[in-house]
Amino acid sequence: MKLYIMKREALETLKANLPVVYGKYYTEKTNQWISDICGEDPFIEFKDVTEFKLADLNSDLTPGEIDLNNCKILYEKLQFLSESQASDERLWAGLAHTTFYDYMRKRWGYGYGKKPKSAEKEAGAIQTRFFYRYTGRSGFYRNTLSKCWWVGHNTYDPNNNQNHFESLDIIGSNDLNSKINEFFYNFTFSSNPDVMAAIIEALRQFKEEGRHVLVRDHIRPAMSYLNAVGGSVVIDCLEREKITRIFADAVDAIMQGDVPTLNLEGNISAEEEDIDYSDDENTDAVDTSDVPEVTLGCKVVIRNIDKETKTYKYDMVNGMLPKAVEVFTGCKVGDVIEMRGKEWRIEDVIF
């Protein structure tokens, strides 16, 4: 099983043209179109590894369970990666567009029944899932494959021979992407394995007591409180048991409707970012304000006042867009265009 990285030039070309080519992710079952867009082979072979498969998308697993399983699989199988290599956007963009291209399309419904939204939303979602939309941790904790490796990396315990991923199991699959945001992205102190182990221990205690800890209601404010504590003491220097107690006491106070003793509002880290993961958890969510737009690879269905219907393929031919379909550029369902002296309404955009 060969792993490929994406050439820097190809990566930049694809990202820059996503508002135009996003439809290819819906229509193209193979990645040959990427070479056509870039004008050359966009990939470089990186490494040959023992073949493995990601979590089964045809099972009854929830999106959170799929991601949790992939955290274990990707880190175990690619454990040889250095942190520098695992931070490189070219690696994950390469894997998402080669070895796991069909998996990624199916995971997000591209070509598997999902209807595209606006060009802006589609380009943004694809950039986040297949590339890095932002730099640094925000990039690799949101990319579909990269985030799984990094979460696996930060929860793997080589000394726990019974279950190397016990910490990850305690975090659990429910609302997993929001937990990833709170535990691994928003706060730098959680990158310290001792601090993370202390937080996991508090979660274990709540789990054993049968108390349900919610991300937005309990974990987020407790993490903010712990970060505020870091404004007066160096959290990394505290004993693990002390950190566990601080975090658990904060959750307890919040559950009881109390406010932890420090003033949270003035101490929340500037890094903290409230990211909406609803689309990650619910791939069937529909925004009625979104209207399908014409993009490369789609078929455009038009109808005139006489109820004549025509269908055109909107795509490149020999590297150029045919003049006959240029009229559809920038249009969406419901728009009216003029063709051959008649007005035609765009009835549908098919992917």
Token reading at 70: 């992939």
Considering the domain boundaries, does residue 148 fall inside one?
A: no
Considering the domain boundaries, does residue 104 fall inside one?
A: no
Considering the domain boundaries, does residue 315 fall inside one?
A: yes
Closest by CA to 131, choosing from 143, 113, 119, is: 143
| Residue span of the structural domain in which 340 resides | 298-350
Considering the domain boundaries, does residue 310 fall inside one?
A: yes
Instruction: Say if residue 2's pLDDT is above 50.
Output: yes
Domain count, the chain: 1
Considering the domain boundaries, does residue 257 fall inside one?
A: no
In the structure, what pLDDT confidence band is assigned to residue 106 with cuts at 50, 70 and 90?
very high
Considering the domain boundaries, does residue 328 fall inside one?
A: yes
What is the mean pLDDT of the segment spanning 251-278?
Answer: 59
Amino acid letter for position 194: D
Output DSSP code: residue 115: P
314 exposure class (CB count in 10 Å sphere: 0-12, 13-18, 19+): buried
pLDDT at 278: 45
Q: How far apart are CA 202 and CA 34, in angstroms?
A: 47
- Residues contacting residue 69 through CB under 8 Å, at least 6 positions apart: 54, 55, 61
Picking from 19-33, 242-256, 280-294, which range would have the lowest pLDDT averaged per residue?
280-294
Considering the domain boundaries, does residue 332 fall inside one?
A: yes
- Residues contacting residue 202 through CB under 8 Å, at least 6 positions apart: 244, 247, 248, 251
Q: How many CA atoms lie within 13 A of 20 on its CB side?
A: 11
In the structure, what pLDDT confidence band is assigned to residue 276 with cuts at 50, 70 and 90?
very low
Residue 67, Cα to own-chain centre: how many angstroms?
A: 10
Q: How many CA atoms lie within 13 A of 13 on its CB side?
A: 15
Considering the domain boundaries, does residue 1 fall inside one?
A: no
Contact 195, 237 (CB under 8 A): no
Instruction: Say if residue 280's pLDDT is above 70.
Output: no
Give the pLDDT confidence of 109-134 residue by residue, as tens digits. Answer: 998 877 787 888 899 999 999 999 88
Contact 143, 131 (CB under 8 A): yes
Give the pLDDT confidence of 294-312 residue by residue, as tens digits. Answer: 888 888 999 988 888 899 9
DSSP state string for 281-310: H-TT---TT---B--TTEEEEEEETT--EE
